[in-house]
Amino acid sequence: MLKPVHEQLLELVKAGLWNIPVNSRLFDGVVDWNELLALSDQQTVTGIITDAIATLPEDKRPPKSIYFLFLKRTEGIEKENKEMYQTIPSMVKYFSDKNIRVLLLKGQGVGLCYRNPYRRTTGDVDFYAGLKERDYGQAKGAFEELGIRLIEEVPQKKHAEYSVDGIKVELHGNIRFTISKQFDGRFEDWMDECLKQESFVVKKAGEDNKIFLPPYRFDAVFIFAHALNHYMTSGLGLRQLCDWMCYLKKNHDKINKEELVKDLEYLGLTKFWKHFAAIAVEKLGMEKGMMPLYEEKYNVYQDKILSHIFSTGNFGYLQRKKQNNKDFKLWKKLKTFYGQLFLYWDNFWMFPKETWYCFKYFVVKNIANY
């Protein structure tokens, strides 16, 4: 069973996403608004729920001092979004002028699917520069010409992180996840097929600029797979589920449902999708008709999955928070291992084969990095 404060947060997220009334009965009695604020930060949904809070009856709203903190943080989220949406078109144009095609992945692209895109908590800007073999190296070279600072690079993964006017930008020459043997073995070929055969989604940004997003067929699967990868290996936040739901609702008439079902089956994602679809409908208020493959019987594990989400935080935020900067590297890894062990054990009973696969990867990766 979820804690009352978790149910309250889910209710506020639901109301904020879909602009529907809050079930105010969940806020009868004493409400720990300080904990709700902390939870909304951990799950990166503060901007989504601020408007919903304002619709509560006056006697059930938070004290003005706490509501002011919600408003202040939401104002910061809006400011960050405006800066990103101003910066991204200029980066895309810069690449385009050098004949480098990049796709804007997840993040700010998916943010456009929200009722209010400026209320989605920002993350990194992710560009896929792997449409042609030369694109990744040329994109890196283009950044270096401008003197943009390289934060980190993982050459074997074709992954480089940069800081552009204080915004973290990630270049991806390829995309790899750790979910299951079936998925990991088939995803790259499936992705190549999608990006070669399907049309890109084009968004205008000003008079002359265009931003290219992945095809609908690709993103319908990719956004979910990205969230699932974090759930299986580090930690998933509610914001990522919100991204997935908002994308499906906004583009429901552009996604070929029969093709989606085949793609999920081919990649071994069908079982996962159905469990998370039950959470989307039953706990987060998505319309049944907008959620492909929703089946009521899959709500059996929804509280357990959500409890994992609340115990790890966005991208494993709570796991990292337990680590002390003064700890030795080995001790930090042991703390992380201990925390993840319980999550793997619980997941094993829901997704045994895939959990064992991810657990082995987790152990090997941490030994290799020590």
Residues 6-26: tens digit of each pLDDT: 999 999 999 999 999 999 999
> Does residue 178 lie in a domain region?
no
The verdict on residue 68 lying in a domain is: no
Query: Residue 37 domain-assigned?
Result: yes
Answer yes or no: is 192 within a domain.
no
Instruction: Identify the residue whose tokens are 């209010």.
Output: 116
pLDDT at 32 over 90: yes
Residue 172 has pLDDT above 70, yes or no: yes
Choice among 67-81, 264-278, 343-357 with the minimum mean pLDDT: 343-357
Q: Regarding beta strands 125-128 and 103-105, do their DSSP bridges make them parallel or antiparallel, or are they unpaired?
A: antiparallel
Q: What pLDDT, on a 0 to 100 scale, did the predictor assign at position 343? A: 81
Specify the 3-state DSSP secondary structure of 367: helix
Q: Could you tell me the residue range of the domain that residue 3 belongs to?
A: 1-62
How many domains would you assign to the chain? 1
**Overall pTM surpassing 0.85 (yes/no):** yes
- The type of residue at 83 is E
Q: Please check whether residue 332 lies inside any domain of the structure.
A: no
Report, as an integer, the average pLDDT of 231-239.
90
Is the C-alpha dihedral spanning 202, 206, 207, 209 positive or negative?
A: negative
Region for 175 from its dihedrals, namely left if φ exceeds 0, alpha if ψ lies in -120 to 50, beta otherwise: beta
**370 in any annotated domain:** no
What is the pLDDT at residue 329?
Answer: 56
**Is residue 256 a part of any domain in this protein?**
no
Q: Which of 239, 209, 241 is nearest to 224 (CA)?
A: 241
Cα–Cα distance for residue pair 237/76, rounded to 1 Å = 19
User: What is residue 361's predicted lDDT score, i.e. its pLDDT?
Assistant: 77
Contact, 219 vs 24, CB < 8 A? no
Comparing CA positions, the residue from 22, 78, 16, 72 lying closest to residue 49 is 16
- Whether 211 maps to a domain, the answer reads no
Helix (H, G, I), strand (E, B) or coil at 104: strand
Mean pLDDT, residues 135-163 taken together: 89
What kind and span of H or E run contains 96?
A: helix 64-97
